[in-house]
Structure 1
Amino acid sequence: MPTYDDDLRLAHVLADAVERLTVSRFRAEDLVVESKPDLTLVSDADRSAEELVRSQLRRTRPRDAVIGEEMEPTGHGPRQWVIDPIDGTHNFVRGVPVWATLIGLIDDGKPVLGLVAAPALGRRWWAAVGSGAWAGRSLTSATRLSVSKVSQVSDASLSCSSMTSWDAVGRQEAVLDLARDCWRERAYGDFWSYMLLAEGAVDIAAEPELNLHDMVALVPIVTEAGGRFTSLRGEDGPFGGNALATNGLLHDEVLSRIGL
């Protein structure tokens, strides 16, 4: 199995550079915010952060492809860096500190590395295949992550997106029923639900509509922590347009209840 230690060190360097930019623009009075054609928001910080990552990857990994949220894909080949410069842009532009830079790597069709940097929360999470999942401020100051061992829905903590978003896939009632049966239900939102799951604080996380750049970085962190990450149709990985992540013990039951 190939190792991705050098790529992981590079991901931290990229996150350090982006963090300096995004933190300087967070709650800035002159932040420029626009609506994209899909009615989601984008700020000047999103675009600047993605260009910063792309420019560094052009220098350090010129043979690798890059897929990002704000710009067209570049390059070809089996290795693809997948970037979400600011996951949680709506939070970012409103001054809510729950936002992060997501840096993921796909190698030969499989997500093999993920880093999630949330500077306003003072947290960073990362993983590479075969190396475990970790959280901390740096590679040398980290705690290994492990999902929970909750095995009953009645004891589980569920984090999902807004209930109204489930109308789009016709699963709102099923999700409501699941939430009623869970011990606790909250919508922590975006990347944070999945990082809490990897830490063992949440047992189930799900969203009905996601893009590739929303998920690639999350998958290795969840799976290396011992969890499972699939689409709502049960396909492993980030390629199904939606997500269900659990501690693994609950996955089949939850999938049977809210899956498509």
Structure 2
Amino acid sequence: MTSKPDDWQSMHDGRLSAMIEVAQAAGRHTLKYFGTRELVVDAKKDDSPVTVADREAEQLVRKLVGERFPEDTLQGEEFAEKTGTSAYRWVVDPIDGTKSFVCGVPLYSTLLALECDGEVIGGAIFIPALDEIIVAGVGQGSWHRKTASSEWTRASVSSKTELSTAVFVTSEVGSFAKRGNADAYARLERDAWVTRSWGDGYGYLLVATGRADLMVDPICNAWDVAAIMPVIQEAGGTFTDWKGNSTVRGGDGVGTNGHLHPAVLERLSD
């Protein structure tokens, strides 16, 4: 039986409720730097951008989780994994869509997932600049709130069954070519009704709320999609890697309304 996030306080010793609170606290911290022209952008070893906002938001997650659940493991994008002794692991991407953040585009997100014994049991996608959030607990549903002052509503994917009527979102078109699959993007763009980018975590939120129908990540890490899997699945959709495996550590990701999943995987195959 599903329940609203307001009733999750006792689940997993309060971890599911804490997941929502911590994701929002970290996301709101990034607003301190969002849209500021003096923001310094550094390049990581893979040439991807990182800012003080990324680092401080992740440090805040580590602090808040560490205070309440010091025995838990925590994996993040910006710092080394902190190994714990419990069955729980937190996975955080403090700013998913740093390029959007740097450019002043309000579609970046803070992603936070909770795992137990290696299985993802909860996820949160928070869009700080829009104050929009979607959260999920396995077996509890996927829940969307447009602003902090609005009510939680049950999220559900679209019912479209034909790619020709579908909205396809992704983050960077060039990422398909980087992994040698430019043709896969061309096939999806050709067969979908509408294609849009600026995806990242926001793209998956659109799929989970039925505003888009498929989101594809050609290259990703666990922190990019761990929070995504439960959000999509609990909204009635499907999340896998490009081979169709139900994993957040496959190196790529596909989130759809479920009906379109086989057709999307077919077009992603070499």
For the superposition of Structure 1 and Structure 2, which TM-score range results when normalised by the shorter chain? over 0.9
Alignment of 1:105-254 (within 5 A): 105-136=114-145, 137=147, 141-254=151-264
Say which is worse superposed, 227-236 or 170-179, in terms of deviation.
170-179
What RMSD, in angstroms, separates the aligned Cα atoms of the two structures?
2.0
Q: TM-score, normalised by structure 1?
A: 0.94
Mapped pair 1:63 → 2:71: yes
Say which is worse superposed, 79-88 or 17-26, in terms of deviation.
17-26
1:11-39 Cα deviation digits (max 9, x unpaired): 22213322342111112244232111111
Q: Could you tell me which residue of structure 2 aligns to residue 88 of structure 1? A: 97
What is the CA–CA distance in structure 2 between the aligned matches of 1:164 and 1:56, rounded to whole Å? Answer: 36
Mapped pair 1:48 → 2:56: yes
Q: 1:97 aligns with which of 106, 111, 118?
A: 106
Q: TM-score, normalised by structure 2?
A: 0.90
What is the CA–CA distance in structure 2 between the aligned matches of 1:180 and 1:35, rounded to whole Å? Answer: 34
Q: Could you tell me which residue of structure 1 aligns to residue 33 of structure 2? A: 25
Unaligned runs of 5+ in 2: 2-9
1:183-223 Cα deviation digits (max 9, x unpaired): 11111311111110000111111111001100001111000
- Tell me the amino acid that sits aligned with residue 66 of structure 2: R
Q: How many residues align?
A: 260
- Tell me the amino acid that sits aligned with residue 138 of structure 2: V
Residue 25 of structure 1 aligns to a residue whose secondary structure is: coil
What is the CA–CA distance in structure 2 between the aligned matches of 1:112 and 1:15, rounded to whole Å? Answer: 15
What is the CA–CA distance in structure 2 between the aligned matches of 1:81 and 1:191, rounded to whole Å? Answer: 17
What is the CA–CA distance in structure 2 between the aligned matches of 1:5 and 1:228, rounded to whole Å? Answer: 28
Residue 239 of structure 1 aligns to a residue whose secondary structure is: coil
Say if 1:98 and 1:192, in contact at 8 Å, map to a contact too: yes
Say if 1:234 and 1:259, in contact at 8 Å, map to a contact too: no
What is the CA–CA distance in structure 2 between the aligned matches of 1:34 and 1:111, rounded to whole Å? Answer: 31
Say if 1:127 and 1:224, in contact at 8 Å, map to a contact too: yes
Say if 1:12 and 1:138, in contact at 8 Å, map to a contact too: no
Say if 1:4 and 1:113, in contact at 8 Å, map to a contact too: no
Say if 1:4 and 1:128, in contact at 8 Å, map to a contact too: no
Say if 1:230 and 1:243, in contact at 8 Å, map to a contact too: yes
Q: Identity over the aligned pairs, expressed in percent?
A: 38
> How far did 1:250 drift?
1.1
